[in-house]
Structures are given as structure tokens and as C-alpha cells.
């Protein structure tokens, strides 16, 4: 297993996970993922983060092509989630590092995950810096991007920011750099990653981008812990601009309809709602929760400012897949969204009320009343759904400044 030299004496020694589709138990990673570990050879040899524990052999093999393991002096833990820290116990045993650097909350996380007795942990805070020979490493805490322990490491001599999970993407390939892959693929994977992991912390993303600008640090390489590396100032700026766009959540003229159905009545209603949106020139994607995973829906939400939910009434409530979707979406705290609700029912008909309450609680604006229909929709019911779609489209276009 060969390492990849990403800058002079800076090596990627991570692992590519081609087969995993389950990302951390809550999201799908349809393209697999990578666990990026970086090794810097200077007067001190420094390793930044590790890989998921089942890939330790791959990482050790790559590392061994750059250095003898016992020559690793420092380990920097930018983030303690197990896919980046999972090899720590073994590495501490094999490398016997002189120091392990982490943030104050990183130490807490480290102690909560591993038996750290005897580990040479050294806590660093924003503004702290260490010298490793011809290079310095500056630490910047990025709490809640996306865990309390998260921090980034900046090497000014290399203009390199090793940025843990921020700016990552789930992708598995032998290419290591963004400029080697089709841009639309990279952007899609960034949208997917951001809207399933980083979205709740959007206000912090904006603050961090501002802070980077104010600090005036020069960055010509962004090396995240997952996915491809941004090489060159132009691509670094492209990445920052994308993150600003994701975080600002500006209004987009696009809608997504999310539904589940029992005897296809709610499904038929979904198509009429879509027709209504389309009639007003708003593109829409219909997503069935039996076909689309909740993380795929969030990716779509990254492109859509109108979010319309459909569920039949079932046992005086909504269907479990829809409830699951709402729970997942609520936690990710989307902002600037218009909502809508519809569904069929047999006799009691609580579905639209339940959906409306959930979406209102998430802060969605609900420009029109929901549509519910008893049993099988008739032409009249389709018309109501169509009109609801058209009204939501008009409200969205107004938000978009049309």
C-alpha cells in the first residue's frame, strides 16, 4: 500500500472504504467513503488523525513506506469520532508517541472512548502553536463542527489546513484530489455530506469562514478527513464559497415532495401536487420513503426550498417512515423552507394536522392549508392538490424574488 505525497514531506496514509454504505449508523454513503490520515515528516514526525479500526493494517502499511512506526513523535487528534480515532490504542502501543495533541474537549472524548492511562496527552487551544522543525502547527478549535472536540490544524509553511470532518465528502476512489474528479460529482457529494452532517451547525460554518478570513491565513490546500483534497487557492476558494452557499440556505426555486402511502391514494395526491408546482414553473422531485432513504431526501433538500410531506392517516397518526423522516430532518435544523402537507384517510384523518404541526415546529412557513382526502381521491381532490402545489409554487417564487 503506497502513500501519496500531497505536499513535500506531507503524505496521505489513509484508507479507502469501497464497500461501506452505512455511514455511522444514521446515513447512507452510496459512494463508499475514505478515512484520511496525514503524516508530516520534519524534525518531528507527526500523524494527523487515524482511520476506522478495521482499516488499521492498510494505514500501518502506508505509514511504513514513509517512516518506521516508532519514529512517529506526535499524534494530533483533530476529531475523536471512532472513524478517525479508532486506531489510537494500537498506534500508541506501536509508535510510543512523545505527545498526543487534542483540544480540551478532545481530551474528555478520548478518555471516554479509550483507556488513556499513561498516554502523553497534551491539550491545545485556539491560538496554540507547536514547532516541529521547519514547520509550525497552529491549532484552531472548531467546536460543534461537528462535535464538541473538533479542531483543525494549520501549517503556515505549507499553507495547509488539515480540517477534520469539515469540507469532507463520502467518496471512494484512487483519486486523492478534487481537481482529478468531475466537478459535478464532487459538488453532489459535498451537498450530500453537508446536509446529512453539517447542516445543523450552519451558523457556526459562517462564523468559521469569517474567522478564517479575518485571521488572514493563506490556505492553498484543504485536507479533510473524508474524501478528496482541495488543491490550489482556486479550489480552496470554490470549497469555501460552496460552504457559504450551503450555510446561508438562500431560497431556491425547486421543491421536493416526500411521502409514504398505503393503498396508493396519498401517492396519487403527490403527483397532483407536483403537477401544480410544475404548472408554475417550479421543478420538483417526488420521493417515496419506500424507495428513498432519509439521507437521500436530505441531499435533495439541499437543492430545494419547498418541502411538502404526504402521509395517510394510520391508527390516528402518520406512517412510521414519514415520522422517521420528520425526526431526522428536525435534528438537521433546515432553515428558510416553505412547507406543505397532504394525505388520504379512512375515517379519522389526523395526518395533515400532524404533518403541519411538525413542519411548523421546524420553523417552516406554511403558505396554504393542507389537503386531506377520504379514501380514494376523485377529480375534485386532485384539483385541490394541484391548487395547493400551484399556491406553494407562487409563495416560493415570491421568496426567490420573482
Partner 1 sequence: MEKYVCVICGYEYDPAEGDPDNGVEPGTKFEDIPEDWLCPVCGAPKSEFEPA
DSSP string, 334-365: --S-EEEEEEEESSS--HHHHHHHHHHHTT-B
Nearest distance from C-beta of residue 150 to partner 1, angstroms = 10
Nearest distance from C-beta of residue 201 to partner 1, angstroms = 7
Contact 5, 11 (CB under 8 A): yes
Residue 244 cell numbers, joined = 457559504
Sketch the per residue contact string, 93 through 112, with partner 1: x for CB under 8 A, - otherwise: ------------x-------
Sheet order of strands, 129-131 included: 129-131, 136-141, 151-155, 160-162, 221-223, 230-231
Sketch the per residue contact string, 237 through 276, with partner 1: x for CB under 8 A, - otherwise: ----------------------------------------
Of the candidates 46, 47, 204, 229, which one interacts with partner 1 according to CB under 8 A? Answer: 204
Nearest distance from C-beta of residue 148 to partner 1, angstroms = 5
Sole window of 74-82, 137-145, 224-232, 261-269 interacting with partner 1 (rule: CB under 8 A): 137-145
144: contact with partner 1 by CB under 8 A: yes
Query: Distance (Å, rounded) from C-alpha 162 to C-alpha 80?
Result: 15
Query: Distance (Å, rounded) from C-alpha 158 to C-alpha 146?
Result: 25
Residues annotated as catalytic (active site), given as ranges: 24, 79, 81, 83, 146, 165, 193, 226
143: contact with partner 1 by CB under 8 A: yes
CA 240 to chain centre: 15
219: contact with partner 1 by CB under 8 A: no
Of the candidates 35, 48, 194, 201, which one interacts with partner 1 according to CB under 8 A? Answer: 201
Residues 188-221 as b/e (b if ≥16 CB within 10 A, e otherwise) read bbbbbbbbbbbbebbebbeebeeebeeeeeebbb
Query: Distance (Å, rounded) from C-alpha 89 to C-alpha 358?
Result: 44
Contact 45, 73 (CB under 8 A): yes
Q: Pick from 243, 369, 344, 258: which is nearest to 306 by CA?
A: 258
Nearest distance from C-beta of residue 226 to partner 1, angstroms = 21
**What is the distance between the terminal CA atoms of the chain, rounded to a whole angstrom?**
55
Sole window of 3-11, 20-28, 182-190, 196-204 interacting with partner 1 (rule: CB under 8 A): 196-204
120: contact with partner 1 by CB under 8 A: no
141: contact with partner 1 by CB under 8 A: yes
Nearest distance from C-beta of residue 147 to partner 1, angstroms = 9
346: contact with partner 1 by CB under 8 A: no
Nearest distance from C-beta of residue 157 to partner 1, angstroms = 28
17: contact with partner 1 by CB under 8 A: no
Nearest distance from C-beta of residue 337 to partner 1, angstroms = 15
Smaller CB distance to partner 1: residue 24 or 183?
A: 24
Sole window of 92-100, 136-144, 179-187, 365-373 interacting with partner 1 (rule: CB under 8 A): 136-144
Give the Å distances, CA to CA, from 365 to 201, 359, 369: 21, 8, 11
3-state secondary structure of 205: helix
Q: Omega into 146 within 30° of 0, i.e. cis?
A: yes
Smaller CB distance to partner 1: residue 105 or 351?
A: 105
The alpha carbon dihedral of 194, 200, 202, 208 has a sign of: negative
148: contact with partner 1 by CB under 8 A: yes
- Footprint of partner 1 (CB under 8 A): 105, 141, 143-144, 148, 201, 203-204, 363
Amino acid at each position: 500500500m503506497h502513500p501519496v505525497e500531497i505536499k513535500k514531506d506531507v503524505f496521505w496514509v489513509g484508507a479507502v472504504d469501497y464497500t461501506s454504505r452505512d455511514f455511522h449508523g444514521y446515513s447512507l454513503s452510496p459512494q463508499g467513503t475514505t478515512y484520511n490520515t496525514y503524516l508530516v515528516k520534519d524534525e518531528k514526525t507527526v500523524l494527523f488523525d487515524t482511520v476506522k479500526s478495521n482499516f488499521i493494517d492498510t494505514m500501518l502499511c502506508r505509514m511504513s513506506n514513509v517512516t518506521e512506526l516508532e519514529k512517529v513523535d506526535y499524534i494530533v487528534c483533530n476529531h475523536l469520532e471512532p472513524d478517525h480515532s479508532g486506531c489510537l490504542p494500537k498506534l500508541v502501543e506501536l509508535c510510543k508517541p512523545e505527545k498526543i495533541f487534542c483540544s480540551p474537549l478532545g481530551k474528555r472524548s478520548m478518555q471516554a472512548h479509550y483507556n488513556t492511562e499513561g498516554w502523553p496527552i497534551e491539550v491545545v487551544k485556539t491560538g496554540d502553536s507547536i514547532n516541529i522543525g521547519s514547520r509550525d502547527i497552529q491549532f484552531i478549535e472548531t467546536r460543534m463542527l461537528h462535535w464538541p472536540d473538533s479542531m483543525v490544524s494549520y501549517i503556515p509553511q505549507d499553507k495547509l489546513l488539515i480540517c477534520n470532518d469539515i469540507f469532507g465528502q463520502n467518496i471512494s476512489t484512487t483519486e486523492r484530489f478534487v481537481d482529478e474528479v468531475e466537478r459535478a460529482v464532487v459538488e453532489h457529494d459535498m451537498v450530500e455530506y453537508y446536509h446529512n452532517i453539517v447542516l445543523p451547525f450552519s451558523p457556526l460554518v459562517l462564523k468559521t469562514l469569517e474567522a478564517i478570513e479575518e485571521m488572514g491565513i493563506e490556505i492553498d490546500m484543504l485536507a479533510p478527513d473524508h474524501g478528496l483534497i482541495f488543491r490550489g487557492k482556486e479550489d480552496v476558494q470554490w470549497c469555501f464559497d460552496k460552504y457559504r452557499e450551503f450555510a446561508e440556505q438562500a431560497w431556491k426555486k425547486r421543491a421536493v415532495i416526500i411521502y409514504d402511502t398505503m393503498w396508493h391514494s396519498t401517492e396519487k395526491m403527490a403527483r397532483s401536487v407536483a403537477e401544480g408546482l410544475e404548472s408554475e414553473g417550479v421543478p420538483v422531485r417526488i420521493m417515496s420513503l419506500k424507495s428513498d432513504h432519509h439521507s437521500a431526501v436530505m441531499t435533495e433538500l439541499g437543492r430545494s426550498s419547498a418541502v411538502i410531506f404526504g402521509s395517510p392517516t394510520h391508527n390516528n397518526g402518520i406512517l412510521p417512515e414519514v415520522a422517521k423522516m420528520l425526526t431526522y430532518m428536525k435534528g438537521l435544523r433546515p432553515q428558510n423552507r416553505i412547507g406543505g402537507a397532504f394525505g388520504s384517510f379512512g375515517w379519522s384523518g389526523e395526518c395533515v394536522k400532524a404533518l403541519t404541526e411538525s413542519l411548523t415546529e421546524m420553523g417552516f412557513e406554511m403558505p396554504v392549508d393542507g389537503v386531506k382526502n377520504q379514501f380514494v381521491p376523485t377529480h375534485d381532490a386532485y384539483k385541490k392538490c394541484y391548487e395547493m402545489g400551484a399556491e406553494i409554487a407562487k409563495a416560493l417564487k415570491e421568496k426567490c424574488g420573482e
